Structure 1
Amino acid sequence: MTGPYLAEVTAEGPAGGKLVCVKLGSTSAGSRRLALRWLRDQAHRLADGLDPAPNAWWARDAPGALVELPGPRTDVPTELRRWESDDHAHEDALALLAAGSPVAFTVADYSGRYTLAIWPVSRSLAPAKRRADLESSTASP
Structure 2
Amino acid sequence: MNRVGYAAEVTVSDGQRFASLGAVTVRNRRLALLWLRRQALRLAYGHGHGSDVKRESLQLPTADVRPALFHGSDAPEGLRFWATDGRRQDDAIRALEAGFPILFTVADPAVGLSLTLAGWRGAPADLQVSVGPL
TM-score (norm. length: structure 1): 0.64
Cα distance in structure 2, aligned partners of 1:30 and 1:101: 16
Indicate whether 1:52 and 2:41 are aligned: no
Gap change, CA 1:3 and 1:88, over 3 Å in 2: farther
Give the structure with higher Rg (CA): 1
From 19, 22, 31, the counterpart of 1:22: 19
SS at match of 1:6: strand
Unaligned runs of 5+ in 2: 53-70, 127-134
Unaligned runs of 5+ in 1: 57-68, 126-141
Q: Report Cα offsets for 1:38-95 as digits up to 9, x if no partner.
A: 000000111123x224899xxxxxxxxxxxx7xxx77100110111101111111111
**How does 1:67-86 map onto structure 2 within 5 Å?**
75-86=74-85
In structure 2, what is the equivalent of residue 9 of structure 1? 10
In structure 1, what is the equivalent of residue 118 of structure 2? 117
Gap change, CA 1:46 and 1:55, over 3 Å in 2: closer
The one-letter code sitting in structure 1 at the alignment partner of 2:39 is Q
Which structure dedicates a bigger proportion of its chain to helix?
1
Cα distance in structure 2, aligned partners of 1:3 and 1:52: 38
State, as a whole percentage, how many aligned pairs show the same letter: 41
In structure 1, what is the equivalent of residue 102 of structure 2? 103
The one-letter code sitting in structure 1 at the alignment partner of 2:93 is L
Cα distance in structure 2, aligned partners of 1:79 and 1:113: 12
From 39, 43, 68, the counterpart of 1:42: 39
Gap change, CA 1:95 and 1:3, over 3 Å in 2: farther
Shift of 1:107: 1.0
Cα distance in structure 2, aligned partners of 1:41 and 1:55: 13
Gap change, CA 1:55 and 1:108, over 3 Å in 2: closer
For the 8 Å contact 1:74–1:108, the answer to whether it is kept is: no
SS at match of 1:40: helix
The number of residue pairs the alignment matches comes to: 102
| Larger RCO: 1 or 2 (CA < 8 Å, sep 6+) | 2
SS at match of 1:100: coil
